[in-house]
Amino acid sequence: MFSPLQTGCPCLYTTPCHPHCSCVESNPRGCQRCCRYGSPEQQKAMAEHLATLSDQVVALKREKAEARHVAVALYDALEVARALIGEF
């Protein structure tokens, strides 16, 4: 069996999923974030869930970058409009 360090469970690097997470301390209660526990079907479901969350994070980062670009363009247009109004 792999140690938690070999699996890269997020609980090792962030706040654990619960105080008795098996990846952080020797405890049979399991982990809610990694795909090492449960039946093969449960492991598969968790892996698919984590992959979906990862895809959503990537999409949100892309949308944030696009929104920032639009905000800059709107600000530039506002400055141009202010300059034009000031010329009259």
Rg (CA), the chain: 23
Instruction: Kindly tell me the burial class for residue 1, based on how many C-beta atoms sit within 10 Å of its own C-beta (0-12, 13-18, 19 or more).
Output: exposed
pLDDT in tens, 42-69: 888 888 988 899 999 999 999 999 999 9
Q: Which two tokens stand for residue 42?
A: 């449960």
Inform me whether the pLDDT recorded for 70 exceeds 90: yes
Q: DSSP labels for 5-40? A: HHHT-GGGTSS-SSTT-TTTSS-TT--SSSSSSS-H
Tell me the whole-structure pTM to 2 decimals.
0.60
Nearest C-alpha neighbor of 22 from the set 1, 48, 47, 44: 1
